[in-house]
Chain A
Amino acid sequence: MKGGSSILIRAVGLLCVVAVAVAILFNPLAEARRERRIEKVLLSVQEALQRYHVEEEIYPKRAMAGGELIEFLQEGGHLEERLTNPWVGGVYDGGNEIDRMAYETDDLAESYELTVRFLHSDKVQFRLDSTENQSLE
């Protein structure tokens, strides 16, 4: 009986230790996966913006949230892929509840800036623009 109870205690203990390891790694792992998804979205949007610029010779004229920009680029045929919202999953469009990407341009729409802010703070996580930060590498 004592042996059986000891095995049970140890099994529960082992599970707890594994649970602690999972708890330690869960958030950083989820964040790393999300970062990868954000990078992919940013690169697709950047490419679509370049296509837009080649055709129109300017960038989109007004500031937009990420989903809105994606819809805009898709409607114009500059972005063909269906992108997934990296924060909530599902189709990335203007109707997303969480959208941390923002598009801005200058008065003449000659340059652009795409920024992604951290989920729980206003700090910039990624920045892609047409002047200084042209790659994520």
Chain B
Amino acid sequence: MKIKTALLQFYRLAILLAIAWLIRGHHDRIRVQGGWPITVSEVKVFLPEAHRLKVDSGERKGLIVLDQDRRQIGYAVRTMPYCREIVGYSGPTDVLAVFDAEDKGVGIALRHSYDTPSHVEDVKFEFLFMESWNGRSWDDIAEITDLNDAQIYAVSGATRTSEAVAYSVNHRVAMTRSEGSAGEPWHFGWRDWLLCGFLGGGLLFAFLKQKAIQKWRPLYSIATILGLGFWMGDLIAQSLLAGWAESRIPWAATPGLVIFVFAAFLVPWFTAQPLYCQFICPHGNLQRWFMKVIPAKWKRPLPDDGKWIGRLVPVMLVMVVVAVSFLQLDFDLAGIEPFDAYLITSAGVATLSVAVVGLLLSLFFPMAYCKFGCPTGWLLEFVRKRSGKPRFSDRDWIGLALLLLALGLYLTPLDRILG
């Protein structure tokens, strides 16, 4: 029984982590490959054994070239979009630079160009120039400051175009050095302390049930609404989670928020206690106050079918979030939840509408938004440990469906969907 419970819990967490990993992988691929992805066949010209390209999300931001046995046989980078400022006669050129396993250049190719086509052709067929990088190591190329000193000579008749190509390769390789790996300094500011304070308060009320402590809960609830909500605006939302999954978790910049979000997922996962939804969430707390002040006769029971349909809404919204993230749609995820509405001065119409409608509905159907509208709450509830006999519930099947959706979007080239 305990093993089954543990396995189910690991399954639930693994589903969320796998979806986040796929989103990250997809966005790393877009960051590295840009709008004009390098294909294996392009690399095969220089490394005939190339079989697969693996995105390197490290500082080089290129592609690891693997052979059929998944051994690294080289490395490939493209110069665009990083070198878009390096312009030849009339535009930049996207250059593919390929290195072997020893990090030595094996060739470059002009992939596409915004430069004058005839000049680009001239450069493409000037083999002496095109082979100038062969045999030079990544570090040697990065150190080039003067093309002539490095014995890389511009192509006669296409001087500016060829120089732009040379400087693009040089700049693309050198940029990994200048960006460095020192990273952002770790900073734990007052907002982080406050968030940890709110988290501590939530933990206190969730786990210590003594009257002497619980009597302070209404005060804490008001503090979350006014402090965490209206003042700080630090509510856990899909836009935040999707942003972290797409780029990175800001450990150094906002460590308090990272701890806060991790606790919101891991405490219910470990203990079954819905820490964030039940105790901390300002919007949940606001609805709880509505429940207290509204006369009981206003409240309406929702029929079972209504509940069944209502529970589909958060799932649908999570699916929308996954689709928006993978397809990079121009759609503000903050608009599907009410949380941004707490920052009233900057809130958009959509988030304000969701907040107002959700609160109005909660006048008649207690906690309506939490139960039938909140995609973030659905995710937190998805990982929460359940009491009773462990079983693979509908929720777990939905989790699997979400993972399959993410996998499908990850494996489908964007061009196939967006044309």
Partner of B309, one of A13, A29, A47: A13
Q: Which residues of A contact B331 (CB under 8 A)?
A: 24-25, 28
Q: Which residues of A contact B304 (CB under 8 A)?
A: 6
Q: Looking at chain A, what size class is its interface with the partner chain?
A: 20 to 34
Q: Which of A20-77 contact B (CB under 8 A)?
A: 20-21, 24-25, 28-29, 31-33, 36-37, 39, 46-47, 50-51, 53-54
Q: Is the Cβ of A24 less than 8 Å from the Cβ of B308?
A: no
Q: Which residues of B contact A96 (CB under 8 A)?
A: none
Judge whether A17 is part of the interface by a CB distance below 8 angstroms: yes
Q: Which residues of B contact A31 (CB under 8 A)?
A: 329-330
Binary flags per residue of B72-93, CB closer than 8 Å to A gives 1, else 0: 0000000011001001001110
Binary flags per residue of A85-129, CB closer than 8 Å to B gives 1, else 0: 000000000000000000000000000000000000000000000
> How many Å lie between the Cα of A135 and that of B84 in the bound state?
7
Judge whether B418 is part of the interface by a CB distance below 8 angstroms: yes
Partner of A50, one of B34, B87, B90, B415: B90
Provided the pairs A32-B418, A135-B81 are in contact, do residues A54 and B116 lie with their beta carbons within 8 angstroms?
yes
Main secondary structure of the interface of A (DSSP, over half): helix
Q: Is the Cβ of A137 less than 8 Å from the Cβ of B418?
A: no
Q: Looking at chain B, what size class is its interface with the partner chain?
A: 35 or more
Provided the pairs A24-B320, A24-B336, A137-B34 are in contact, do residues A36 and B330 lie with their beta carbons within 8 angstroms?
no
Q: Which residues of A contact B41 (CB under 8 A)?
A: none
Q: Which of B289-337 contact A (CB under 8 A)?
A: 304-306, 308-309, 312-313, 316, 319-320, 323-324, 327-331, 336
CB B148 to nearest CB in A, in angstroms, measures: 26
17 A–B contact pairs at CB < 8 A? A21-B319, A24-B331, A25-B331, A28-B331, A31-B329, A32-B329, A33-B419, A36-B415, A47-B117, A50-B116, A54-B117, A54-B118, A134-B84, A134-B92, A134-B114, A135-B84, A137-B80
Interface, chain A (partner B; CB < 8 A): 6, 9-10, 13-14, 16-18, 20-21, 24-25, 28-29, 31-33, 36-37, 39, 46-47, 50-51, 53-54, 130, 134-137
Shortest Cβ-Cβ A-B pairs, 9 listed: A13-B309, A134-B91, A28-B329, A137-B81, A28-B331, A9-B305, A17-B312, A135-B114, A21-B316
